[in-house]
Structure 1
Amino acid sequence: MLLTAKDVAKAFRAGERAYPVLYGVNLDLKEGEVVALLGRSGGGKSTLLRILAGLIPPDGGEVRFKGKRVEGPVEGMAMVFQTFALFPWLTVLDNVALGLEARGMPKKERLERAREAIALIGLRGFEEALPKELSGGMRQRVGFARALVVEPEVLLLDEAFSALDPLTAEGLRGDFLDLWLSGQISTRAVLMVTHNIEEAVALADRALLLEGSPARIGKEIPIPLPHPRDPSDPRFRALVDQIYEALTLREEVERRLEEELLRLPDAPVGALMSLAEAIARLGGRADLPPLAEEEGLEVDDLFPLLEALELLGFARVEKGDVELTPAGLAWAEASLEERKVMFADHLLRRIPLFARLHRALLERRRIPEGWVLNRLKEHLPEPEAKRVLSVLLEWGRYAGLLAYHEGSRMLHLPPGPR
């Protein structure tokens, strides 16, 4: 056992209020395995990874690396971030050697080690280049080289491939997997945060799913396929479907909790209409993985749209499939004006938060944006409150139930309100 987390908890604070993000997280990482950590956007995946790395402390519980309690950055672990995080004024060689310099390694030795890591990751000949002279894929390779040069026993990947275009990401994933399987790197275990389910099935030996709010490890799914893995293999597709299904299962208790906390999914109306139309074209029911692929949607894009369609009463998500309700099918096939009327009706009937806001508008005619934001901030952190407010404004304006004046920052009833 290389890395363990026991009963880890974390909350972020705004003033005197605490907002729990993680609670009771238990996790083990064993030698010789790649583990994928998945969950909904904003669910605490990256926060957990930073706690494991010793970059931020937990509020409760503990993390141990090789049996020793982690109380800060640990020699023996390294992280590759989603963003390239390179110093723009340093060459590739100097960026890679930086971690060795911080450890006090003599210059000649650290430059030699850095050159070896650069060659290993496929960038020989670019040692003196600056980051601005490199493509996105090459810059991320520098990030991998910088992590590998310190010869970590545990490598943490925080959506390390997500900022790249699909072909570049596939190439870098393949090269990294070759290094891992061939034993050319010192790393003994890998923990990767990803929102790409196919990526998890392609690389990992098992997948851990973060669930709930605050989040915890809710389910573990083994991925026992031999390498190399073929995405068209029925066993591969079955595992993708299984993870999709597990991620879309939501207990009613959790749903009620989120509604009480006034959370609304980040779902633009245009994207909702496009998704509903796509499901309608497929006969009103669709399997989530091929639907996501057809619409070019990642998990973090797809799930908020599905959640919004469910909340509005336009769809049901069950066992990795989505099915339009009769109302959802009618909405997808209606004219633009009919859609607005139907959306307004469902918004008032199905979203209590918006119904309360609309009643307040009917009573007062005009409401300051700040008044609404302050009500939301009583229950949510400020960034989340602002996000929910933006969703309320977009949905309400589309439905013709409210208007918003940018200059005065006032919400008011549109002419001829319902």
Structure 2
Amino acid sequence: MTGTNWAGNVTWSARARHEPATLDELRRLVAGAERVRAVGTGHSFNRLGDTTGAQVSVAGLPPTVALDRDRGTVTVAGGLRYGDLATALYAEGYALANLASLPHISVAGAVATATHGSGPAHGNLATAVNALELVTADGDLLTVDRADPRFAGLVVHLGALGVVTRLTLDVVPAFEVRQYVRLGLPRAALDTALDAAYSVSAFTGWRSPRFDQVWLKQHADQPPPPADWLDTRAADTPHHPVPGMPAHNCTVQLGAPGPWHERLPHFRLGFTPSSGDELQSEWHLARSDAAAALAALDPVAGRIAAVLQVCELRTVAADGLWLSPNYERDTLAVHFTWVGDPAAVAPVLAEVEERLAPFAPRPHWGKLFDRDPAAAYPRHDDFRALLREFDPAGKFRTALLDRYFPRD
């Protein structure tokens, strides 16, 4: 079998790929496999999902979207993309509290890696999970919810505990959002800016002491930022975060009101997210360390800029999920969209990791990183115990999982 991840920087080692159409077919496949890994939309930049056995996609299972208005939840098929789920929810008058910057990713894959949106009051996408259903190593079907003491370890599972088929998510009433882009934010104003709207992202090319762009996503009934907001100026045309890329790929700006799912992401569902030809890394730091961490990177700003397309900074609220990069600390996420040249990026990535090391950075599990993150996760050993319980034979293990969560 040949195939690559979304970015094309990883060629899978899997011997076969399956897309079962029924739950029973999936259960038989998992039970009979020696090695198997679930694969989503492939928007990962490392080999965490690679396997020498078989890959299995749940995209072929029935596309469940079952709204429970009384409980304030929706149960969805794991292979569904967030953009498709959001469209269905909006039609019923409901919303998710948060969305990632691109709606192209699958629900199960995003949750498994604690992929996130932005906002000081909002947790990552996995924090919306109320319950999940998964096929375990022996082919059994298991459902767990927040009442299960293992739940906080099972939600962000890296594909290591089973194949997730359905998830139940918390929903809220649908809402309207306006999106504004401001230009030239002073570094000293970053902390204030990050608290200024429902969701905020600051973008820099590491070539200026000011942030190039700040994207403010706020409830439509809130007043727009004043003309002199934090010594910035208002963009009078739509912008793309990556210089030179078409703004048409991005969600609507300039303060035009629109549905939550058409404003909270940066990119539109029918268009290429980001630049397409890229590599990505992201580290999550305690928000209280933001100023010191950025200052630690300043001496290598020129090296970063030379291989960078754009760097995005955003906040994520603390949570209690064991392998979440936001576990028990409010977070500043520092995301790098690199050029698509692994050899040029690798030494700069290593330099960034070294300079961020004093701040106990937690990497996004689906991005490029090199240092062992175990020391930054207080519940690391507890998750290893779950691995022993759920997958004693290592059916779902990969080389990277063995590196970061060694067997006894």
Pair in the same fold by TM > 0.5: no
Question: Is the radius of gyration larger for structure 1 or structure 2?
Answer: 1
Higher RCO, 1 vs 2 (CA within 8 Å, ≥6 residues apart):
2
Taking structure 1 as the reference length, the TM-score comes to: 0.23
Taking structure 2 as the reference length, the TM-score comes to: 0.23
> Which is richer in strand?
2
